[in-house]
Structure 1
Amino acid sequence: MKEKIYRGRHPLRVFDVVKALAFVGDLSMGQPTNHSLRTAWLAVRLAHVAELDAAAQAAVCEAALLRWSGCTANAGDFSDVFGDDIAVRVAMLEGRPEAIRPVADVANMGVVLRPLAQIHCEVSAEVGRLLALSSATETTLRHILEAWDGSGQPAQLAGDAVPATVSVVSVAGDIEVLGRTYGTEQALARIRERGDKRYPASLAALAARHAADWLAELEGSSPATLDMALSTPRMALTTPADLIADVIDLKLPWMTGFSRAVAATAAQAFGRLSSDKAAQERVYHAGLLHGLGRASVPIQIWNMTTHLPASAWETLRLVPYWTSRAGQWAGPLGEAATLASFAYERIDGSGYFRGARDRSLSTEARVLAASVAWVAMRSPRPWRAAMPADAAAQQLREDVRAGRLCGEAVDALVSGGAGIARPAADRTETRHLLSPRESDVLRAISRGATNKEAARELNLSPSTVATHVESVFRKLGCTTRAAATLKASAIGLL
């Protein structure tokens, strides 16, 4: 009898999921992990004094929290153009064009940036839609990179065509980043200079009158106070946590579906060892969250196919540290993030980042660590093929003999022919949305394959693949591969 695949049974508040996505976005942008929270707080204040209505104020708050949620989706393309995707984004936010390497080499930066912005905005808007936030929030996110003078992307809207909510979020982001980087006085001077360029001069002037007081008040605000101020009515509703995993995995196409597979596999294995349903739920959520810190690592390091230098390893060893930072949150997601930060620990102390060992590792942590290793070995990577089940099981048992992994946890994973749990579609109405061939093509391109590579893999012509890609986009209502991957993952098509 086929074993039922475990799913998280208790949805979380939308606000908690949004907060996790804001955390991922902040790491992707090289910012402090409270950057989006602070920006949202400032944006709400600015929207209020600008006399936007209540619905627009809520949209401003939600969009400010999610405006970087598309950063993982275009990280690879961003790296191809600029090199270090995180360092260049920091330079862009801080207004340091001299630090952006290719600027002098590219004749028309708008042409280069447009597809990157299209991916970012479409994915951010899709995140808003999947979370059932308002249409105003979705519209704001779809145009979050537009500018008042028409120099923004991807649609190059100008003047009143730019939603007022976009301009408010843009000003608030500048207050937060520039104020922290250059001090309030210099930040306000730069914001005034950007009036009628990035946003209306009248809005810049309004912000300048209040920014110093707002920043002072913000410095005295506790995390709990911020949370209370930012939870809009729609974010008080509930939603599954799986979207967090999908956004995390978008950074690396070859990891599509990885975090979901870890979550389902770990929860299923834990269920063989314990009847504690609350703990099983925590293991599931920890599997979804275990890659939170991956957003902090430049994509060039992730895609290295040679032996990693010591400096790269030190960066990678911080991934679970950044995940542990999310463990400071109150509630079930914080508990799950703390557990998730043990995903790379080993019982002999050879893991990272803590070097935890023996009794300091709970059964939940031991199952999670073994599950991450098991799913990783059974998954293809750019530098190797997926390991066969027997070879992966042999490697896990070797790790048990060497004292690195827990034998009980490994037995729960590999005994009795257990494999990788792959969540199936929840919504029966989507099951036949795509034809079998379209599904094959979608799976290939979601893992980063070009049309030519997908054609070779599926024994099709490139033109046939291109036709299928167009059909998939049309059926899913997307124009980019990243957005199609995100939506397909959310509705169980991958």
Structure 2
Amino acid sequence: MTTTAGMADRQATAPTVRMADVIASLALATDLAEGQPLEHSLRRTLLAVWLGEELGLSQRDLSDAYYVALLGSVGCVLDGSAFAGFVKDEIAVREEMAMLDPSQPLKVAAFFLRHAGAGDPPLRRLTKLLSLGRQSQAICRDVALHVGGLLDLGPAIKEALGQCDEHWNGKGPVLGLKGEEIHLAARIFILAQDVEVFNRLGGADAALTVVRKRAGKIYDPRIAERFSAVGAALLNRLQSESAWDAVLSVEPAPPRLLSFAQFDEVACKVANFIDMRSPYTVGHSPMVASLAERAALALGVPASEAMALRHAGLLHDLGRAGAPVSFWNKTEPLSGEEWERMKRHPSLTEIVLARSSSLGHLGTLAGLHHEKLDGSGYRGLSATSLPLTARILAAADTYQSKLEPRPHREAMTPELAADEVRRQADHGKLDRDVVEALLSAAGHQPQRDKRPLPAGLSEREVEVLCLAVRGLSNRQIAEALFLAPKTVGHHLENIYSKIGVSTRVGATLFAVQHGLIAEPIPS
């Protein structure tokens, strides 16, 4: 446990981090989940802000446009769980979706029919298509209710983030808002998102053609008209500026600087958000971060380095956004190609954080979390390339992963998990001293004090909720808790009603927000 004095030491040595660095890095991770090149979201943000200036927006409206443009696609990190049940690679499908014309519903339906349930009979594929639409929309609503709030960006931005799929003509797929019912920042986002894609793939003429064609249907005609007049100049400007530096330069004034405690809180929220990409990893990163920090302090690592290790632990799995959800949830062995893609996620974490001068060092460390002393890790680095903090992070990730269920196995008991990391130390994969310090830290965690449960939930309802967010079916929950499946169904109905959500993604967001899954959940 970190002492008050230790916390003070960490705060005294903590560097200041700009909120824009954190949000822009999260935006890069959403580029991975969308199947778009890195910095797609940054270029979209520059177009949104520059177009807002051309429209004569106030500083408040420009601020809304900035944050909404950065985060407007963040829901795709989580609604991939809806796609995963219907397509093998939702990232590849999303990449193709970017070119669809949403004003032509028959073509959109045909696209999804080709991809949803590929290999199934036509009737079953149609059923999957309809189910996919319903689930994706519900998840978007639940995510929209939380994302802006998680990062404390204010109610206007939170509202706009929930409207980024709306169409000017009222035929959008989620809320059906029309015209100026749609938040201005969301209207700008919708146009800037498409313009960036079509400009990159077809040049300025292709982007301008799309804007003119969709004006009054998908886009606000006033915004489309203004872009048609200035778009060529904005797109030319886009080619001449460093996207990362330019996005930081247009951050709304004054820049929002995060104290140590604030950065730690935001990093924890980002970690929880990424972890929810799969039910098997919910709550994983904060536990890894806590274990790593405590082990580091026990090994005599200076407080500033232990703090950096904690933050690297929180952010170490950002790169998971770049591998399809179906890979993480697959019960069968991965194919060679799937395994190679999944092994890239530590490198993707490093790449996502590398652009930030205040987060880059965390990415360098986080990118080593699957390395082994004998060179058998994901990137093939050996002991001479692995500092003590990297060895600690690798051991913490290995131990914590064993405590959690995976598609191919149940969660291990703490005793079996300890045996496994000791076995890896015996075989020269993990550092022996690190493993013993880690296990010592893990074995002396104080029990959490009893506290009132949120939203009037009962202890049994919390048990059901925690198993549900791990992806267990009603029947599996019933077997784990010795209940009838019908009883589990009644519990879930009551839980959803009490916490005000309609999907398991929404329930997961609630459970993480209220600290209900801080401890490993039994399978």
With normalisation by structure 2, the TM-score equals: 0.86
In structure 2, how many angstroms separate the alpha carbons of the residues matched to 1:234 and 1:70?
A: 25
* Residue 429 (structure 2) pairs with residue 404 (structure 1): yes
Give 1:443 shift: 0.4
Partner of 2:187, secondary structure, is helix
Could you say which residue in structure 1 is the equivalent of 2:399?
A: 374
How far has the Cα of 1:294 moved from its partner?
Answer: 0.9
Does residue 345 of structure 1 match 2:366?
Answer: no
The match for 1:418 is: 442
Asked whether the 8 Å contact 2:167–2:177 carries over to 1, the reply is yes
One-letter code aligned to 1:396:
V
Tell me which residue corresponds to 2:73. Answer: 68
Quickly say closer, same or farther: Cα 1:137–1:373, change in 2 above 3 A. Answer: same
1:251 paired residue number: 277
**Offset at 1:437?**
1.7
Output the CA distance in 2 between the equivalents of 1:491 and 1:163. Answer: 29
Query: What is the RMSD of the two structures over their aligned residues, measured on CA atoms?
Result: 2.9
Q: Which one of the candidate residues 266, 279, 290 is aligned to 2:316?
A: 290
Match of 1:182 among 188, 191, 202: 202
Paired with 1:420 and 1:260, the residues of 2 have a C-alpha distance of 17
CA contact (8 A) 2:291 2:396 kept: yes
Residues 1:115 and 1:151: Cα distance change in structure 2 (over 3 Å): farther
Deviation at 1:312, TM superposition (A): 1.4
TM-score, length basis structure 1: 0.90
Task: Return the letter of the residue paired with 2:394.
Answer: A
The offset of 1:95, in angstroms, is 2.2
Q: Is the 8 A contact 2:169 2:216 kept in 1?
A: yes
Name the CA distance, whole Å, in 2 between partners of 1:129 and 1:117.
Answer: 19
Among 325, 349, 364, the alignment partner of 2:389 is: 364
The 1-side partners of 2:473 and 2:36 are apart by 32
Matched-pair contact (CA < 8 Å) for 1:15–1:231: no
1:486 alignment counterpart = 509
| Code of the aligned partner of 1:161 | E
Deviation at 1:463, TM superposition (A): 4.5
Structure 1 position 61, deviation (Å): 1.0
CA 210–428 in structure 1, closer or farther in 2 if over 3 Å, else same = farther
The residue that corresponds to 2:458 in the other structure is 435
Counterpart among 98, 108, 111 of residue 93 in structure 1: 98
The answer to whether structure 1 residue 301 and structure 2 residue 306 are counterparts is no
For residue 234 of structure 1, report the CA deviation from its aligned partner: 7.7
Paired residues for 1:127-142 under 5 Å: 127-142=147-162
Residue 105 of structure 2 is matched in structure 1 by none
* Aligned partner letter, 1:336: L
- Distance, in Å, in 1 between the alignment partners of 2:384 and 2:49 is 46
User: Which residue of the partner structure matches residue 251 of structure 2?
Assistant: 230
The one-letter amino acid paired with 1:258 is H
Letter in 2 for 1:269: A
Deviations 1:369-394 (A, max 9, x none): 11111111121112101223333323
Q: For residue 267 of structure 1, what is the aligned residue in structure 2?
A: 293
User: What is the Cα deviation at residue 306 of structure 1?
Assistant: 2.4
Cross-structure match for 1:151: 171
Q: What secondary structure does 2:146 align onto?
A: helix
Change (3 A) 1:53 1:461: farther
Residue 220 of structure 1: how far off its partner (Å): 1.9
Match of 2:23 in 1: 18
Give the direction of change, closer, same or farther, for the CA distance of 1:405–1:118 in structure 2 (3 Å limit).
Answer: same
Q: Distance in 1 between matches of 2:92 and 2:444?
A: 36
Structure 1 residues 24 and 424: CA distance shift in structure 2, 3 A? farther
Structure 1 pair 235/211, CA: closer, same or farther in 2 (3 Å)?
A: farther
Q: After the TM superposition, which residues 209-220 of structure 1 pair with which residues of structure 2 at under 5 Å, given as runs?
A: 209-220=229-240
Structure 1 equivalent of residue 88 of structure 2:
83
The range that moved more, 31-40 or 223-232, is 223-232
Segments of 5+ residues of structure 1 without an aligned counterpart are: none
1:189 match: secondary structure: helix
2:142 corresponding residue in structure 1: 122
Q: What amino acid does structure 1 have at the position aligned with 2:213?
A: E
> Matched residues in 2 for 1:338 and 1:423: separation?
33
Q: Counterpart of 1:200?
A: 220
- Relative distance call for 1:15 and 1:467 in structure 2 (3 A) is farther
Which residue identity does 2:271 align to in structure 1? Answer: A
Q: Contact 2:85–2:326 (CA<8 Å) still a contact in 1?
A: no
Aligned to 1:465: 488
Counterpart-to-counterpart distance in 2, 1:48 and 1:474: 43
Q: Which of 40, 44, 64 is residue 45 of structure 2 equivalent to? A: 40
Moved more, 9-18 or 53-62: 9-18
Q: Counterpart of 2:206 in structure 1: which amino acid?
A: Q
Cα 1:361–1:421, aligned 2, differ >3 Å: closer, same or farther? farther
Whether the 8 Å contact between 1:68 and 1:124 is mirrored in structure 2 is: no
Question: Could you tell me which residue of structure 2 aligns to residue 172 of structure 1?
Answer: 192
Deviation at 1:423, TM superposition (A): 10
C-alpha distance in 2 between matches for 1:470 and 1:236: 42
Instruction: Please state whether the residue corresponding to 1:143 is helix, strand or coil.
Output: coil
Cα displacement (A) at 1:106: 3.5
8 A Cα contact 1:171 1:207, kept in partner: no
Query: Which 5+ residue runs of structure 2 have no aligned equivalent?
Result: 102-107, 117-121, 518-523
1:311 is aligned to 2:337:
yes
Alpha-carbon distance in 1 for matches of 2:472, 2:285: 20
Contact 1:175/1:211 (<8 A) preserved? no
Q: Does the 8 Å CA contact 1:266/1:283 hold for their aligned counterparts?
A: yes
The 1:493–1:423 alpha-carbon spacing in structure 2 relative to 1, beyond 3 Å, is: farther
Provide the C-alpha distance between the structure 1 equivalents of 2:281 and 2:196, rounded to a whole number of angstroms.
Answer: 33
1:444 match: 467
